[in-house]
Structure 1
Amino acid sequence: MEAAHRRVAADLADQIAAGLWAPGDQLPSRASLAHHYGVHEQTVRLAMVLLRSRGLIEGEQRNRLRVAHPPVMRTLIRPDAGWPYQTEVTDRSPCRATDELADRLGVQPGVRLQREAIECMDPGGRSAMLVSSWWRGRRRPHTSYVIELGVVALDAGQAHALGLTVDTPAYRLARTRLDAAGRAVESADLILPMDRWTIRL
């Protein structure tokens, strides 16, 4: 027998596909949906987790959820180019170099680094990419960069910012900027949800 939350999720997915709610519309409250389907509110919560993991709804679990806008697929070609749309700085707190950052920047582990975290929005105002940058001292100009491409599972903070669920797979581009002598002057992690991006390097 199908689990109740999967049945609820399937019915809501069908209604979204049929256009009962348009992208951006709020869904009924959890209590209202629980009453409608004759289930416990926890069952509705599990159904919403399932719909979020499929990219059909977005928003915070504690608030009213909305029908998600279909993700716009973008192709990243120039990972060192500026972002053409709105950005928001979410953190500027200094930190200590982890072993990985120390290796990327050519410094000793534990050295104090400057840090900047930026959320890059798409033209509709939704989060499209997260960029965390680290450097020592003041920012210096660069003449080239190197990229390492990998895949990570979103942590709670990243998932919250991107409107996705924890452990959703995302591309991670570790970009290190170099000066004319080939020394690292800055390193950054670019986090790009796999349902919104393709990479062409």
Structure 2
Amino acid sequence: MPSEVPPYLRISDDLRRRIAEGEWRPGERLPSRAQLAVAYGVGANVLQRAQERLITEGLLEGRAGSGTYVRTPPERHRMVRSRHGERRGDSPLRAELRDRGRTGSWEANSYARTPAPEHIARRLGIGTGDPTVRTCYEFLADGRPAQLSESWEPMAVTTGTPVLLPELGPLSGRGVVERMATIGVTVDFAVEVPRPARATQEQAHLLGISTGDQVTVIERTYYDLDGRPVETADIVVPEALWEIAYEIPVERN
């Protein structure tokens, strides 16, 4: 016979149902854990485990010294992936935010002479272990976490130039296309491959979401006129905050 469902799972499922049916609205405080434990006929530790499950799922949130509340879903915005952002000499995210009257910024740390891992080497068309510049970005929208990015550039392309480190020097923050143009490299096109994923503990911490929350990872690679990859990046976008849309130009006769 199948094993009995653990009490905390049964309770979390029932709480989820009650919230879905509108017994408690977003932003509303639930009864205390002691009250709910009595109502369900279980110990406080079982009730706590049930609520922690729903907190991990993003349905509830705990507020220190106040109690447990139904989490208010964050406002979701559309993020348009377009070449126009690069044309404006800016990051696509900051250009999109500016168009909406919002402020975009980022924090970045670069690491030169980072040996390329096998999967990055394959994307850049270089040898495993070849030196790269790895840059980790935390993008902010109105001062709040919006997305993450990990970028890799082959040092064979930028060594000895002022744009070796993306966020230092005269073109700091100007984007891959404009930086590469100053050293005679014309970026011709980019390829983006979006994939669904779950936030790791580190990603969740940086984005202010819960571990396991849905994210979209965009694998983006820039190519020059000869089809040579000059930069590749993994962009992590939280699903709860952003709907991703692609703007595709239409050729006219």
- Partner SS for 2:81: coil
CA shift for structure 1 position 47: 1.0
- Write out aligned runs for 1:1-201 (5 A): 3-4=7-8, 6=12, 9-10=15-16, 13=19, 17=25, 19-20=27-28, 33-38=32-37, 39-41=43-45, 43-57=47-61, 68-78=71-81, 81=85, 82=91, 83-84=93-94, 85-89=103-107, 91-94=109-112, 95-123=114-142, 125-137=143-155, 138=164, 140-141=179-180, 142-201=187-246
TM-score w.r.t. the length of structure 1 is 0.72
- Partner SS for 1:110: coil
CA gap 1:3/1:86 in 2 versus in 1, 3 angstroms: farther
- Partner SS for 1:195: coil
- Residue identity matched to 1:53: E
Contact 2:12–2:53, Cα closer than 8 Å, also in 1? no
**C-alpha RMSD of matched pairs (Å):** 3.5
Cα displacement string for residues 103-148 of structure 1 (whole angstroms, at most 9, x for unaligned residues)? 111111112221111122233x332211111112225523421111
Contact 1:117–1:131, Cα closer than 8 Å, also in 2? yes
- Partner SS for 1:200: strand
Residue range with higher mean Cα deviation, 73-82 or 165-174: 73-82
Distance 2:196 2:26 in 1: 34
- Residue identity matched to 2:134: R
- Residue identity matched to 1:112: P
CA shift for structure 1 position 46: 4.3
Which residues of structure 1 form unaligned runs of 5+?
22-26
Count how many residue pairs are aligned between Structure 1 and Structure 2: 188
Q: Percent identity?
A: 23
CA shift for structure 1 position 149: 1.7
Contact 2:115–2:132, Cα closer than 8 Å, also in 1? yes
Which residues of structure 2 form unaligned runs of 5+?
38-42, 86-90, 95-102, 156-163, 167-178, 181-186, 247-253
Cα displacement string for residues 5-59 of structure 1 (whole angstroms, at most 9, x for unaligned residues)? 51795599567616435xxxxx99xxxx544544434642541331341354389
TM-score w.r.t. the length of structure 2 is 0.59
